[in-house]
Amino acid sequence: MFIPTLREVPADAEAISHKLMLRAGLIRQLGAGIYSKLPLAERVMRKIERVVREEMERIGAQEFRLPLLHPAEPWKESGRWDAVDETLFRLRDRKQTDMALAMTAEEIFTTIARDGLRSYRQLPQIWYQIGAKFRDEARPKSGVLRGREFTMKDSYSFDADAAGLDVSFQKHAEAYRRIFSRCGVESIEVEASSGAMGGSESVEFMAASDAGEDWIVTCPGCGYAANLEKATSEPSAASDPADSATIEKFPTPGVRTIEDLARFQGGAPAERQIKTLVYRVDDALQLFLLRGDHELNEVKLAEITGSTRLRPAGAEECREALGALPGSLGAVGVANLSVFADLALRGRRELTTGANQDGFHLRHVDVSRDLAHANFVDLRNAREGEGCTRCGKPLELRKTIEIGHIFKLGLRYSEAMGARVLTAEGKETPIVMGSYGIGVERIMAAAIEAHHDANGIVWPRSIAPFDVVISPVKATDPEQREKSEQLYAALAEAGLDVLLDDRDERPGVKFKDADLIGVPFRIVPGPRALAKGCVELAERATGEAREIALGDVLGELRRALGR
Amino acid sequence: MFIPTLREVPADAEAISHKLMLRAGLIRQLGAGIYSKLPLAERVMRKIERVVREEMERIGAQEFRLPLLHPAEPWKESGRWDAVDETLFRLRDRKQTDMALAMTAEEIFTTIARDGLRSYRQLPQIWYQIGAKFRDEARPKSGVLRGREFTMKDSYSFDADAAGLDVSFQKHAEAYRRIFSRCGVESIEVEASSGAMGGSESVEFMAASDAGEDWIVTCPGCGYAANLEKATSEPSAASDPADSATIEKFPTPGVRTIEDLARFQGGAPAERQIKTLVYRVDDALQLFLLRGDHELNEVKLAEITGSTRLRPAGAEECREALGALPGSLGAVGVANLSVFADLALRGRRELTTGANQDGFHLRHVDVSRDLAHANFVDLRNAREGEGCTRCGKPLELRKTIEIGHIFKLGLRYSEAMGARVLTAEGKETPIVMGSYGIGVERIMAAAIEAHHDANGIVWPRSIAPFDVVISPVKATDPEQREKSEQLYAALAEAGLDVLLDDRDERPGVKFKDADLIGVPFRIVPGPRALAKGCVELAERATGEAREIALGDVLGELRRALGR
């Protein structure tokens, strides 16, 4: 058995799951965001995949195996060939035909549905596969948590109407809850943005972890939970004067930032400033206004504008359009560009903003009076402690790993690609679709993030690479060897996954490795115990060890493992 | 269940397995040489993969999961980045880094061995994976038989010496025999060329089939068997005069080909001519001589020259080097270029060849006298009916599908990439490697090629997508429906793979589909049989049908399926 455990790990491994997967010999890096899974990891992944298959079969899903190499054509039909950025790996074959590597498979399943489904009577269908996916992440990190190649269960539902989609969506939510629970990973369901996938509604399943890169907002009062990309909140209250003074321009030499203006004599604290951001959206510049201490949420920006091609405008673009450089920009009196203002600015008085003249600002700004041309929308990131929009209680913020994501796609793909069925009335209608993903490596990593200690991994029993390891104190001792091999054969015969550590190493080394790789149970056939017809049985999770008669080992393990 | 059977198949589907896989709803084409596997095919492939896993585990192999996206670096280290042609899919990531799609994984497994194996005591190791592979075939055809993306079990052995490699190689041969036999596919083992893989020895496992693209040569006398690329044979005997006349140049206006010269007054029959072929090998021209009626074998050419960059020389290149155009070329008196002559030419007299002067040939050529500067090697394709080089019996030629291939790589990769272990004497030694492949789709297709009839597929029981289909005569009849569902539940509960055809279709349609998709057993709960407490049980392979008591169905099926 090839289990190359390590004492030291590369300095760039930060996430605990990344460190432990390297140290326990589960993975090796091949390139940026690309990892080889060694035999221990493969065993864990196959156990996870088995759980996934069982739960997908339970909701009536059928397994497919789709190509990973996609012709560009279906991606062009759906519009994603142009809409998705460099995250989609693209290549050309020997005939210079455009191709892509599977990122998800909406397009391919939709072509199969278009050709194979004719009537509402064939619906609903749930189709899935488990296999490699590719994303050329700009910043791969945290080992398998944000890799460029990973294993995903992706499924797709096909229904005749929205009510059918609701059922398929709920079935998936239930299957996902069972999958995560069976794999020993606690999941939090949050409202999420649909992003590049399109569609109307989506829910993410998150595992709380410091190694995560996704912030979620939760309300301990009413249970509201959302990805920060999507979360809304009540801003902290502002106390403005009842009346507005006349708007006034004043010189602010050297002021470039919100902080500069807060410190400037005659300036204003951040929460009394208007932050003016200029973006190029498709081909036009647009203005986005926020309270000075608030942060723009670019995902909300993309949803509001409906555009996937947006970027902050450059200094020269700003000067050309508004007559000033960033630092002195504002929206008062701007008639030629669209202006969006965050809801937290609505009705505010006595604010300060840029004057669209370098080195000048405006004060006494009254939003209702001076920015009446703005569209008021939710533009900003929610913050810890702000009020829940549903119940008013203070919101909490935490870091999580996305382990599953389910989408109501609706007609996004079926309309673009012409996937239709005949209704009972003989009318053609586009198929109503959903899509659903679970990351296999992410479950593995999230399980480690949630279950480890100073000595290594503590695998949930359901996905442990082995159920039990037999570690004779001295592998070269004939009696220990014989008893170990007998026990190995008996446990394997009974269907348990057993590892026999027959290396000629000190017990300390073997126990350390067993702890590191996290096998739930360890059996030690030592000389003293064997003399009494016993072995030591230790549990990895609790560290508890006790002597047990050789004849009782199988029964005890079966009971403990629930088999 | 999504089983989109078809009446008609695209005209370009020629191989019977290709047609039946389309008609039975197993696959759909996504692009040239790229196929989606629908649920029936996925079920078959998972059964094949299960057999493969069991037999690989039996020889002590450990399962890995390696990336499909390879950085170019290890391919450059091994030399294959340059040596392999366009068959290797290449791409660049967002940082313009060169990458390749997995064609095989020698390089990646070798890097893991290099980093993880230190001592001869860790050997032998057999590592494997089952997953997608990519080859940008110039002419993808025959459905999944020559696809550009396919599923392969690839394994790699690591031994301390050549004797160890022999053991690993034999273990694989035995595992492969068991795998093919268990999957119902008869395999023929043949000597093969190692080609782009490198290494010293290789054996292919072939399934006889008209859909195949590989010709093999077999000897019914001694059992000799080889791929045509590699096969040797005794040429038919030639009766030459005992003495040679003086060599003589004569005019042959208009003669361009072997056939021209055979018809030409004063010419010679093909078997008395020397065919002169000029190739550019790496950067130099070389001459290859064959008997006029023999065919050059380019694989042998590559092995003899040790080059992977060779192509026929152009007319102008020939004129520059030899002074004449193709049609009048010869090797007599050629001192500036390497000359290789096929063994069948050795010792021949009274032959005719080109004179290296346009429109002229030489006659009375005595090979020993006039072509003494040639190197004699095996250059030609063996032919049906020629003598076996071992026993002299006439050879047979047949078309086959390659379903497995095992290679002794030796030190090819470990030396190039520096994968070494310490011997018992503490000396560094390169690891001795083997590599081994099985095509999963190819087994599926070969099984269909071998097992079908006019009505469709007749799956071997071990890999059938379902064990049994229940086809009530009238699915809407309450009693038939109830009994069908009871039977379905009982058989499924017992672990059989059951399909219930509850479509409201005529029995003829349902039986036709059941025959087409090739389920080994069919149960028909019809009104007359049910009245007697019976159902009809029919076997797909024999067409035999009989009534059987409801209570006996499970036992009978278990017996027949050996479960």
Tens of pLDDT, residue by residue over A539-559, are 999 999 999 999 999 999 999
In the structure, what pLDDT confidence band is assigned to residue A222 with cuts at 50, 70 and 90? very high
Q: Is A523 helix (H, G, I), strand (E, B) or coil?
A: strand
Residue of A nearest to B62 (CA): A39
Could you give the percent of chain A with pLDDT greater than 90? 91
Q: State phi, psi for B519 to the nearest 5 degrees.
A: -65, 130
Across A370-396, average pLDDT: 95
Q: State phi, psi for B508 to the nearest 5 degrees.
A: -55, -45
Residue range B407-434, pLDDT digits in tens:
999 999 999 999 999 999 999 999 999 9
Q: Does A511 touch chain B (CB under 8 A)?
A: no
Q: Which residues, 6 or more positions from B473, have their beta carbon under 8 angstroms from its beta carbon?
A: B480, B507, B524, B525, B526, B527
In the structure, what pLDDT confidence band is assigned to residue A100 with cuts at 50, 70 and 90? very high
pLDDT at A200: 76
C-alpha closest to that of B281 among B301, B261, B254 = B301
Q: For the purposes of burial, counting CB atoms within 10 Å of the CB of A105, is it exposed (0-12), middle (13-18) or buried (19 or more)?
A: buried
Q: Does B548 touch chain A (CB under 8 A)?
A: no
Residue range B304-357, pLDDT digits in tens:
998 878 899 999 999 999 999 999 999 999 999 999 999 999 999 999 999 999
Across A128-147, average pLDDT: 94
Across A317-335, average pLDDT: 95
Across A144-161, average pLDDT: 97
Q: Are B206 and B468 in contact (CB under 8 A)?
A: no
Other CB atoms within 10 Å distance of the CB of residue B373: 14
Across A422-430, average pLDDT: 96
Residue of A nearest to B90 (CA): A91
Report the gap between the CA of A71 and the closest CA in chain B (Å). 6
C-alpha to C-alpha distances, A48 to A44, A55, A353, A463, A464, nearest whole angstrom: 6, 11, 55, 6, 9
H helices then E strands: how many in chain A? 16, 31
pLDDT at A563: 85
What single string gives the DSSP state of each residue in A66-122? --SEEEHHHHHHHTHHHHS-TTS-EEE-TT--EEEE-S--HHHHHHHHHHH--BGGG
Helix axes B162-182, B39-58, angle to 10 degrees: 140
Residue A62 has its nearest CB partner, among B2, B89, B138, at B2
Residue range A336-346, pLDDT digits in tens:
999 999 999 99
C-alpha closest to that of A31 among B297, B489, B67, B421 = B67
State how beta strands A360-365 and A338-342 pair: unpaired
C-alpha to C-alpha distances, B399 to B210, B440, B443, nearest whole angstrom: 6, 20, 16
Interface test with A, best of B22, B56, B66, B157 (most A CBs within 10 A): B66
What single string gives the DSSP state of each residue in A406-464? EEEEETHHHHHHT-EEE-TTS-EEEPEEEEEEEEHHHHHHHHHHHSEETTEE---GGG-
Structural tokens at position B19 = 């047609």
Residue B36 has its nearest CB partner, among A34, A67, A93, at A67
State how beta strands A521-524 and A534-539 pair: antiparallel
Can you tell me the distance from the alpha carbon of B535 to that of B522, in angstroms, rounded to the nearest whole number? Answer: 10
Beta bridge partners of A156: A127, A435
DSSP class of residue B244 equals -
pLDDT at B487: 97
Q: Where are the beta strands (DSSP E) in B252-390?
A: 274-281, 284-291, 310-312, 338-342, 351-354, 360-365, 375-377
Q: Of residues B165 and B283, which shows the higher confidence score? A: B165
Query: Dihedral, CA atoms, B358, B363, B369, B373, nearest 10 degrees?
Result: 20
In the structure, what pLDDT confidence band is assigned to residue B196 with cuts at 50, 70 and 90? low
C-alpha closest to that of A382 among A234, A270, A202 = A234
Judge: A136–B86 Cβ closer than 8 Å, yes or no.
no
Could you give the percent of chain B with pLDDT greater than 90? 90
Q: Which amino acid is at B486?
A: Q
Contacts of A94 in chain B (CB under 8 A): 86, 136, 138
Q: State phi, psi for A519 to the nearest 5 degrees.
A: -65, 130
Other CB atoms within 10 Å distance of the CB of residue B29: 18
Instruction: Decide if pLDDT at A199 tops 70.
Output: no
Instruction: Decide if pLDDT at B198 tops 70.
Output: no
Judge: B134–A69 Cβ closer than 8 Å, yes or no.
yes
Across B209-217, average pLDDT: 92
Q: Does A116 touch chain B (CB under 8 A)?
A: yes
Q: Does A133 touch chain B (CB under 8 A)?
A: no
pLDDT at A420: 98
Instruction: Decide if pLDDT at A401 tops 90.
Output: yes
Other CB atoms within 10 Å distance of the CB of residue B26: 32
Judge: B31–A134 Cβ closer than 8 Å, yes or no.
no
Q: How open is the CA angle B235-B237-B243, to the nearest 5 degrees? A: 125
pLDDT at B250: 96
Judge: A67–B108 Cβ closer than 8 Å, yes or no.
no
Q: How open is the CA angle B10-B16-B20, to the nearest 5 degrees? A: 65
Chain A (32-61) residues lying within 8 Å, Cβ to Cβ, of chain B: 34-39, 41-43, 45-46
Q: State phi, psi for A369 to the nearest 5 degrees.
A: -85, -45
Contacts of B67 in chain A (CB under 8 A): 30-31, 34-36, 149
C-alpha closest to that of B560 among B532, B522, B518, B529 = B522
C-alpha closest to that of A89 among B72, B514, B90 = B90
DSSP class of residue B493 equals H
Q: Which residues, 6 or more positions from B117, have their beta carbon under 8 angstroms from its beta carbon?
A: B123, B125, B158, B419, B421, B431
In the structure, what pLDDT confidence band is assigned to residue A242 with cuts at 50, 70 and 90? confident
Can you tell me the distance from the alpha carbon of A48 to that of A179, in angstroms, rounded to the nearest whole number? Answer: 8
pLDDT at A12: 84
Q: Where are the beta strands (DSSP E) in B240-356?
A: 248-251, 274-281, 284-291, 310-312, 338-342, 351-354
Query: Chain-wide mean pLDDT for chain B?
Result: 95
Other CB atoms within 10 Å distance of the CB of residue B335: 7
pLDDT at B197: 62
State how beta strands A284-291 and A338-342 pair: parallel
Could you give the percent of chain A with pLDDT greater than 70? 99
Q: Are A275 and A291 in contact (CB under 8 A)?
A: yes
Residue range B95-148, pLDDT digits in tens:
999 999 999 999 999 999 999 999 999 999 999 999 999 999 999 988 999 999
C-alpha closest to that of A395 among A382, A407, A385 = A385
pLDDT at B12: 84
State the distance between the two ends of chain B, measured CA to CA, in whole angstroms. Answer: 25
Residue A149 has its nearest CB partner, among B68, B74, B91, at B68
Beta bridge partners of A214: A400
pLDDT at A426: 95
Q: Which ranges constitute the DSSP H helices of A192-337?
A: 258-263, 298-305, 315-322
State how beta strands B396-410 and B214-218 pair: antiparallel
pLDDT at A239: 83
The predicted complex's ipTM stands at 0.92
Chain A (142-161) residues lying within 8 Å, Cβ to Cβ, of chain B: 148-149, 151
Helix (H) or strand (E) holding A152: strand A149-159
Q: Which residues, 6 or more positions from A55, have their beta carbon under 8 angstroms from its beta carbon?
A: A175, A176, A178, A179, A182
Can you tell me the distance from the alpha carbon of A328 to that of B221, in angstroms, rounded to the nearest whole number? Answer: 95
Instruction: Decide if pLDDT at A196 tops 70.
Output: no
Residue range B263-316, pLDDT digits in tens:
998 889 999 999 999 999 998 999 999 999 999 999 999 889 988 788 999 999
Q: Does A82 touch chain B (CB under 8 A)?
A: no
pLDDT at B237: 77
In the structure, what pLDDT confidence band is assigned to residue A236 with cuts at 50, 70 and 90? confident
* Cβ contacts of A510-513, under 8 Å, gap ≥ 24: A510/A471, A511/A471, A512/A455, A513/A3, A513/A5
Helix (H) or strand (E) holding B479: helix B478-493
C-alpha closest to that of B104 among B3, B199, B34 = B199
C-alpha to C-alpha distances, A333 to A283, A370, A374, B174, nearest whole angstrom: 22, 8, 10, 84
